[in-house]
């Protein structure tokens, strides 16, 4: 591959990651091309179709998230702190990572590919472990699970284009509100 071509490939994946983060998984190819400063033709030279490009982005994201989760787990002694830190990281405003969580949603679209499935499964398992620990430590409500966290991450970070503007601007704020509601003792007794 020619040097300039390799350079473009990088630009494309980065641009795609950004655009997807901003406009959701359905961002048009043309928007990505424009951001990367290339023509759509160039996108198709490297990726057979849109799905392939998005998958590449997903791949990239999955690894990034896995690293972030591990880093958070390492840095915080208590599991709750690690969860808090990770969620905050994943939804940081301004971060392209916004729909980093995209790596999570397409359990169908992306995890289907064997290469991704493994990484994703591992990630989920380690996240689940963190949740179990937090619950064992008595810092997290027992009636919520990793799945809840993952779903919420999806809700607030994928499809930012249809979130009310203030929410899209700072999903972390809402996710943290959510986490506060998940702390041990936060549950409203039924009948309230």
Q: Where does this chain bind a second copy (CB under 8 A)?
A: 81, 84, 105, 144, 147-148, 151-152, 154-156, 159, 162-164, 166-167, 174, 176-183, 186-188, 192
> Among 36-44, 103-111, 127-135, 163-171, which window interacts with DNA (CB under 7 A)?
36-44
Please, what is the end-to-end C-alpha distance for the chain in angstroms? 65
Partner interacting with residue 163 (select from a second copy, DNA, none; CB below 5-8 Å by kind): a second copy
Tell me if 45 contacts DNA by CB under 7 A. Answer: yes
Phi and psi for 39 in degrees, rounded to 5? -90, 160
Distance CA 185, CA 174 (A): 19
Minimal distance, residue 154 CB to DNA, in Å:
20
**Size of residue set near DNA by CB under 7 A:** 22
How far, CA to CA in Å, does 135 sit from each of 35, 125, 127, 185? 44, 15, 13, 11
Tell me if 137 contacts DNA by CB under 7 A. Answer: no
Distance CA 28, CA 20 (A): 9
Minimal distance, residue 61 CB to a second copy, in Å:
17
How far, CA to CA in Å, does 59 sit from each of 13, 103, 112? 11, 7, 12
Binding stretches for DNA (CB under 7 A): 1-5, 8, 26, 28-30, 37-42, 44-46, 49-51
């Amino acid at each position: 591959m020619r040097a300039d071509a390799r350079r473009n490939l990088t630009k494309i994946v980065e641009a795609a990651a950004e655009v997807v983060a901003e406009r959701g998984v359905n961002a048009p190819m043309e928007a990505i091309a424009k951001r990367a400063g290339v023509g759509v033709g160039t996108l198709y030279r490297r990726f057979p179709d849109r799905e392939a490009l998005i998958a590449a982005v997903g791949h990239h994201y999955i690894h990034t998230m896995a690293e972030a989760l591990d880093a958070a787990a390492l840095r915080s002694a208590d599991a709750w702190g690690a969860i808090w830190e990770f969620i905050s990281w994943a939804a940081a405003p301004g971060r392209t990572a916004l729909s980093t969580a995209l790596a999570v949603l397409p359990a169908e679209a992306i995890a289907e590919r064997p290469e991704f499935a493994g990484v994703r499964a591992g990630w989920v398992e380690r996240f689940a472990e963190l949740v179990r620990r937090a619950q064992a430590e008595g810092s997290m409500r027992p009636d919520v699970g990793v799945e809840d966290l993952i779903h919420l991450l999806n809700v607030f970070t994928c499809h930012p284009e249809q979130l009310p503007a203030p929410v899209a601007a700072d999903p972390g704020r809402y996710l943290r509100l959510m986490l506060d509601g998940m702390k041990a003792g936060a549950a409203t007794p039924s009948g309230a």
